[in-house]
Structure 1
């Protein structure tokens, strides 16, 4: 590890980890959409598609940008004869998200006014939308995903933060003026615990740039995992094709059958993990597949079986 301060300042990987975003978006999702496990996918570590039903709050005010907060409240117990507390406990830990939307779209309007306009129909002739503000504002929960991109090309790093059950806690002032600026939709969201999952916030750090400097950032790379849980059955004299899947590793994968045998007539392609062919005999074949990665040390195995019907 570099110990000289001068060398540390010019070290390339250190500069890459100084993050200044060039793109940022806030996305929303209903509570009926499963929380996102990861924001990147594939060997290129590119952004994954958002789930169906997610929406974009649109352009954000550059001056205010996106502010991520965390408010901790601690309770101390002091004892006679001690200058420092003898016990401390956190009694509150609330993550917050502040952003200012620029677009007067449905999602910013709903967020700011605390209303559900999903069933609202515009006047068929004028296109006007008109509605009453509820006398008592109901607390609405939805998922919020703040997603930012840092750097460009192969150096891209993505940072994400998901609020499992976000609640709008404050709506900022809106100004109507012909001077500088425009009508904006300032919003503050607090992260509440999703009772179905037992947590409030999920953090993501990914992208091709992150993948390349992962170890420099102080993290260890996970090993290989075969994600194929089971294989469907086949039928004698009918074509069969299934692809084994694996996560982890950055190199070329090579598949083999470590123990047992595939059903007669089927073969495993070493480079693709595809089991294909035409079964020639009925029965159950138990076997163990193995995959190795040209970069990641070690290998991983998975016992599987295929039932061939007559």
Structure 2
């Protein structure tokens, strides 16, 4: 084999370091089909279906956190130091973010109150609604889009979760230095129609420029 050095073997490429500098979370009623592609042939981002509503501004420190928890059941054998078999019994993905805007959508997510029940008084504009006394899980569809680079040559990183539900509420903290908001955790479920719990995507004109470097082949 020919001689080389570690620098050449490492194949370090700084252009492949992706960092979402901006992100948006979109929520729709379950099941709202996601577009087959989020960008057109030139890499320009396309409008989402009208049912996908943005939650607006989200907390900068929290951002959008994705976590994947896997539970396995190892089989051990007498005299063996390592398991002889290991089977995955649970694979759960969660997303965590903190919406900062007060809208019908964010109130729906934070309280579990149906959107149709959140109405303003026709005269005073006052909004008053009761949080459901008996909790019922509401499923949604979600698309999360992040953007690296600038608008002239963006790289979009996105995830599609066809079936999600709020699984944890961070609670509100009223003080003069924070906006009225609470952190939400949503768990992803496999959707029978889509056939998956989470899908990953990349696109944009900036992505097209580095695609060849990623080693990902074009579809035939």
Normalised TM-score (structure 1)? 0.66
CA 1:125–1:153 in 2, change beyond 3 Å: closer, same or farther?
A: closer
Report the alpha carbon displacement of residue 196 of structure 1 after superposing the two structures with TM.
Answer: 2.2
Query: Which of residues 161, 171, 174 in structure 2 aligns to 1:173?
Result: 171
Aligned to 1:235: none
Q: Equivalents in 1 of 2:185, 2:62: separation in Å? A: 12
CA 1:80–1:202 in 2, change beyond 3 Å: closer, same or farther?
A: same
Give the helix-richer structure, 1 or 2.
2
Query: Which of residues 82, 89, 92 in structure 2 aligns to 1:91?
Result: 89
Query: Which of residues 50, 53, 68 in structure 2 aligns to 1:52?
Result: 50
Give the strand-richer structure, 1 or 2.
1
Aligned to 1:5: 7
Aligned to 1:301: none
Equivalent position SS for 1:58: coil
Normalised TM-score (structure 2)? 0.91
Superposed CA offset, 1:99-138 (max 9, x none): 0011111111111111212353310111111111111111
Larger gyration radius, structure 1 or structure 2 = 1
8 Å Cα contact 1:29/1:144 also seen in 2: yes
Superposed CA offset, 1:194-252 (max 9, x none): 122321111111111111211201111224xxxxxxxxxxxxxxxxxxxxxxxxxxxxx
Report the alpha carbon displacement of residue 173 of structure 1 after superposing the two structures with TM.
Answer: 2.1
Superposed CA offset, 1:70-123 (max 9, x none): 111111111111111111111110111000011111111111111212353310
Q: Which runs of 5+ in 1 are unaligned?
A: 224-310
Matched, 1:184 2:177: no
Indicate the RMSD between aligned Cα atoms, in angstroms. 2.0
Written as runs of structure 1 = structure 2, the 5 A alignment for 1:162-241 is 162-178=160-176, 180-223=177-220
Question: Which structure has the higher relative contact order (CA within 8 Å, separation 6+)?
Answer: 2
Report the alpha carbon displacement of residue 60 of structure 1 after superposing the two structures with TM.
Answer: 0.6
Report the alpha carbon displacement of residue 35 of structure 1 after superposing the two structures with TM.
Answer: 2.5
Report the alpha carbon displacement of residue 152 of structure 1 after superposing the two structures with TM.
Answer: 1.5
Q: Equivalents in 2 of 1:81, 1:145: separation in Å? A: 49
